[in-house]
Amino acid sequence: MACSLHVAWDDGLTGYNFGPEHPLNPVRVELTMALARELGVFDAPGISFIPVEPASDDLLKLVHDPGYIEAVKRAGRTLEPDEAHSLGTADNPVFPDMHDAASLVAGASVAAARAVWQGESEHAANIAGGLHHAMPGNAWGFCVYNDASLAIAWLLEQGAKRVAYVDVDVHHGDGVQAMFYDDPRVMTISLHESPLTLFPGTGRPSESGGPGAEGYSVNVALPAGTDDARWLRAFDAVVPPLLREFQPEVLVTQHGADAHALDPLANLMLSLDGQRRVYRELHELAKTTAGGRWVVLGGGGYELVQVVPRAWTHLLAEAAGGGVDPEAATPEEWRGLVRRRTGDVPPLYMTDGRTPRFTPFEAGFDPADPVDQAIQATRRAVFPSQGIDPSL
């Protein structure tokens, strides 16, 4: 069934560019949009594009310190590093007009949130967004401004009383968690590789919310090597029960594609087909728990050709309510674009050839399984605060 979807887009969103040697290359966004166009995703009924404007300073101040905003502007002019604000590091190099590029990404996520909150569309997406590591006063983990947090803060300013944020990036959504750690109006749920083996080294189950917000920060820390079946088992054991209990007015989701087995910066083992299954599950949860109000953001993902464009094209198609046949061939014109832009060999089909299945956690707990241990640790840390029995 087709869904109304507003896509926040401006060609300037590819200007968020740390340079050709940096892992976060905006070609992944360019190739995603091109693939989605070629496959007709944007031709579906109810799909439209919404204009994007940079987030103003006043808007950015909902989540970022004024001094930090000025530091970003200054670094984009002088190209001088600013150690106090983590600008000019290997992860966060300075680049010309950095503030303009980062504020445009932030503005696009707020535009998506606005479209959903004001009832202009059921769903809205900013595929260039999901920069979930940025902190109030410093850049962090390739992220200058935290557009995900800004979209949530904007919703709260409009009067939203319950916003849920689900983050399926392989890295912990630490910036979003930090900004709402003491706020029971926001439930943050992050499924990520264990902090024992991956940046940013946070996201333990014990990080479960500050005073008055206990049980509203949820972390599922999965061991390196977790595959589709075990990842989906963890998701199913934690996310649906919490969202059903919380009943958010809006669901905001971050879809870093870096949990894929081919990602060069991480160690989980999901397939494209497993990721597609996650998108379907989140779409269904938006319908059943949030009245259909769904804000979709991109995120990490550093296999720029084989993974990110196909994953996010499936994501956009899912949000549009139609989906893309996983057996479909990638269009020849798109393959030519891949060769011209990257020199890489493009994927031929929209699937990794997997059919992900999982056994529900409720079917039985294996105390020797590290994934089941992670699931149980999370459920014990947060379920009682939400009035849910962790043993069921």
Give Cα 300 distance to the centre of its chain: 7
CA distance 51 to 175: 26
Contact 183, 216 (CB under 8 A): yes
C-alpha to C-alpha distance for 6 and 124, rounded to whole angstroms: 5
Give the tokens for residue 151: 């979209």
- Amino acid 189 reads I
Instruction: State how far the Cα of 347 lies from the Cα of 337, in Å rounded to an integer.
Output: 12
Of 253, 252, 243, 187, nearest to 214 by C-alpha is: 187
Tokens at 28, concatenated: 């992944």
Catalytic residue among 85, 133, 192, 314: 133
Tell me how crowded residue 287 is: count the other CB atoms within 10 A of its CB: 17
**How big, in percent rounded to 5, are the helix, strand and coil portions of the chain?**
40, 15, 45
133 is catalytic: yes
> Which DSSP category does 252 fall into?
E
Max Cα-Cα span within the chain: 59
Q: Are 333 and 326 in contact (CB under 8 A)?
A: no
Q: Taking Cα atoms as reference points, which of 242, 279, 260 lies closest to residue 162?
A: 242
Residues known to be catalytic: 133
